[in-house]
Amino acid sequence: MSELLEPIRYTLRFPAPHTHYVEVEATLPTDGKPCIALAMAVWTPGSYLVREYARHVEGVVARTPDGTALSLDKARKNRWCIDTNDAHTVVVTYRVYCREMSVRTNWIEDGFALLNGAPTFLTLVEDTARPHDVQLLLPDAWHTSITALPAAPGGTAHHYRAADFDTLVDSPILAGNPAVYPFEVDGIPHYLVNEGEGGIWDGPRAVSDVAQIVRAHRHMWGFLPYDKYIFFNMITEAGGGLEHKNSTILMTSRWHARVRKDYLSWLRLVSPGFFHVGNVKRLRPVGLGPFDYEDEV
């Protein structure tokens, strides 16, 4: 059903990444409605506290594709209402300030961007699943973007498609020049993505150990329930982990690679993050869903 609906299309730009902003342009179908409502999530699955992500959104403007300005009102702390003026599509632009280094938020600096779905994307308030396309226009110095999202139709670089908003929220994106270490288990591609090795973190050693963890979990479960999996290893002197269906975000210190007990503590972060592939992400309390991104769980 969702594939029959016209997707929401986002273009992300980073014109001055050292200022910690992403500029978002969203093209939204109106389905003939005289007004539409947009919302930003106030929390993200896996981190069950209200975070008020809309506080980092600035400069929301709406127009038609030909540039005609449209009336826009902020109806709630995280909602905006737009008079469509009978336009088939509406273009909304806004900026998001991204300088909170955690597994649930966004961080942008001169060298890379880590984007989570909940604090980045305004979406339509509607009771249906709709595809969400995301295209990143990277700074010249950045060469890589990686996410568990599949590539969007057409094969354009840095262009991805989520089947619905739940999938978009559940799929972090890293852009920049990370060290990427691919490996396979059961013929399924996996990636250890290290941001911030700094000539200290031992990537080949780490990917060998991560692969052993994946094989042990596969032996326990008996199968792997995805087509691709990514370990985002943010070596950013922060801490924590957050699970997703097809990826996990890990945060650590580069110096943990130098002390055995600290390195083992990192592996103990890798393993439970990956365990959530089954537990919580696919086997979860019925009360958790469908997700209500605007209210407490």
pLDDT of residue 48: 87
Q: How far apart are CA 29 and CA 214, in angstroms?
A: 41
Same domain for 120 and 200, yes or no, is no
Query: For the sheet containing 21-29, what is the strand order?
Result: 57-63, 89-97, 21-29, 8-13, 132-137, 159-162
| Final residue before a domain boundary, out of 119, 144, 176 | 176
Same domain for 150 and 82, yes or no, is yes
Same domain for 121 and 215, yes or no, is no
As for how many domains the chain has, the answer is 2
pLDDT band of residue 3 (cuts 50, 70, 90) is low
Q: How far apart are CA 170 and CA 83, in angstroms?
A: 30
Same domain for 22 and 70, yes or no, is yes
Interval 155-161 mean pLDDT:
96
pLDDT of residue 287: 77
How buried is residue 203: exposed, middle or buried, by Cβ count under 10 Å (0-12/13-18/19+)? middle
DSSP lists the bridge partners of residue 262 as: none
3-state SS, residue 220? helix
| Final residue before a domain boundary, out of 136, 155, 176 | 176
Contact (Cβ atoms closer than 8 angstroms) between residue 246 and residue 148: yes
Q: Which of 66, 53, 139 lies closest to 97, judged by CA?
A: 53
pLDDT of residue 286: 83
- Residue 32: give the domain boundaries: 2-176
Provide the token pair at 263: 């390195």
Interval 274-287 mean pLDDT:
90
Q: Is residue 285 part of a domain?
A: no
Q: Is residue 291 part of a domain?
A: no
Interval 181-196 mean pLDDT:
98
Q: Is residue 202 part of a domain?
A: yes
Q: Is residue 26 part of a domain?
A: yes
| Final residue before a domain boundary, out of 121, 147, 176 | 176
pLDDT in tens, 218-259: 999 999 999 999 999 999 999 999 999 999 999 999 999 999
Q: What is the pTM of this model?
A: 0.96
pLDDT in tens, 192-224: 999 999 999 999 999 999 999 999 999 999 999
pLDDT of residue 28: 98
